[in-house]
Amino acid sequence: MAGSNFVDYVKIYCRSGNGGPGSAHLRREKFIPKGGPDGGDGGRGGHIILRGNSQMWTLLHLRFKRHIFAENGGSGGHQLSTGADGKDVIIEVPLGTIARRESTGEILFEITDPGDEKILAKGGRGGLGNDHFKSATHQTPRYAQPGEPGIEEAFILELKILADVGLVGFPNAGKSTLLSVVSAAKPKIADYPFTTLVPNLGIVSYREGKSFVMADIPGIIEGAHEGKGLGIRFLRHIERNSMLLFIIPADSRNIMEEYDILVNELLMYNPELLDKRRLLGISKSDLADEEIRNELRKDLPDLPRVFFSSLTGEGITTLKDMIWKTLNSY
């Protein structure tokens, strides 16, 4: 996924279709000069619908198409004929897309399943024809209902990436390198902080044709929940991950301290993130011999951990085994 092509936040202006007006037609045929009302109902206005697409990973296609209008419903006709419904507009979106009102910030719904369809802007109902208004005392109504207007409103679409494993760590911890080694993803990798500016996804192949999805988000720094660094813009992508893999390099000044900072940032952003299952991966372990590792083990967080090196491949298979076991532990 190219960095410039990743869009996870768009504002769109929608206008659903107006309902068609009902008909006030009076039946007039040969030998039936006063046949009474036979006006049909108006058609429904077109809806604007979001549909989940598991093959999409970004909202890029909506960046330059921010005004979306649906068709109006057709007018009712004579002989009780109903007007045509306006054509619905279906917007394909990635799984994990949240829709909210731009005016209030209210969350309307989220799309989490392939093919899942939810109405973002409902089309107006068609008006009733005059046939509905006849009665024993009013046999020739010469009026009909107008159609209901559609909805005109701005909406925010926000993507929270759906992945099995979310990589959490400071900038330059080795998250992108790990993703590039275990999957076909090609994230930008360089020896300076904040190389990763957008989330990257990779499908990790496992034994016997099995696989899982791994997400690498931009590095977290202390104060990220307050907007420091890349701030909270990408922290929301962790919310949809099944488990979290903390990545801390073996040459870190203090692994326990870094882990505590990362956990605190997640806690301050959303305490529910700490309910997720966690693993610790100590990256760049080729820089630490067994004596150094034994020293590091004396002060490590109390959770499953593995030393690994994306450069030499050491511990990568063990790491994948641990991830698979954790994902399938319930």
Q: Are residues 241 and 309 in the same domain?
A: yes
pLDDT in tens, the chain (330 residues): 444 567 888 999 999 999 999 999 998 888 777 778 999 999 999 999 999 998 888 888 898 888 999 999 999 999 899 999 999 999 999 998 999 999 998 999 999 899 999 999 999 999 999 999 998 888 889 899 999 999 999 999 998 877 889 898 888 888 888 988 888 656 554 454 444 556 778 888 898 888 888 888 876 766 555 555 555 566 777 888 889 999 999 888 889 999 999 998 888 888 888 899 999 999 999 888 888 888 888 888 889 999 999 889 999 999 999 999 999 875
Distance CA 258, CA 275 (A): 19
Q: Are residues 13 and 140 in the same domain?
A: yes
Q: Are residues 144 and 183 in the same domain?
A: no
Please enumerate in sequence order all residues whose Cβ is within 8 A of that of 85, keeping only pairs 6 or more positions apart, or say none.
43, 44, 45, 46, 73, 74, 123, 126
> CATH no. for residue 318?
3.40.50.300
Q: Are residues 73 and 144 in the same domain?
A: yes
Distance CA 274, CA 267 (A): 7
> CATH no. for residue 91?
2.70.210.12
β pairing state of 97-101 and 67-69: unpaired
- Domain ranges, residue 196: 163-327
Upper half-sphere CA count for residue 66 (Cβ side, 13 Å): 10
Distance CA 29, CA 271 (A): 73
Upper half-sphere CA count for residue 312 (Cβ side, 13 Å): 11
Q: Are residues 213 and 237 in the same domain?
A: yes
Q: What is the pTM of this model?
A: 0.72
Q: Are residues 173 and 48 in the same domain?
A: no
| Contact between residue 91 and residue 119 where contact means Cβ atoms under 8 Å apart | no
Domains contained in the chain, number: 2
Token code pair at residue 183: 């999957």
Which of 159, 193, 227 is at the close of a domain? Answer: 159
Q: Are residues 197 and 137 in the same domain?
A: no
Token code pair at residue 233: 């813009």
Angle at 41 between CA 117 and CA 137, to 5 degrees: 140
Which of 125, 144, 159 is at the close of a domain? Answer: 159
Which of 120, 138, 159 is at the close of a domain? Answer: 159
Q: Are residues 53 and 123 in the same domain?
A: yes
Q: Are residues 149 and 181 in the same domain?
A: no
Q: Are residues 10 and 146 in the same domain?
A: yes
Q: Are residues 184 and 302 in the same domain?
A: yes
Q: Are residues 100 and 137 in the same domain?
A: yes
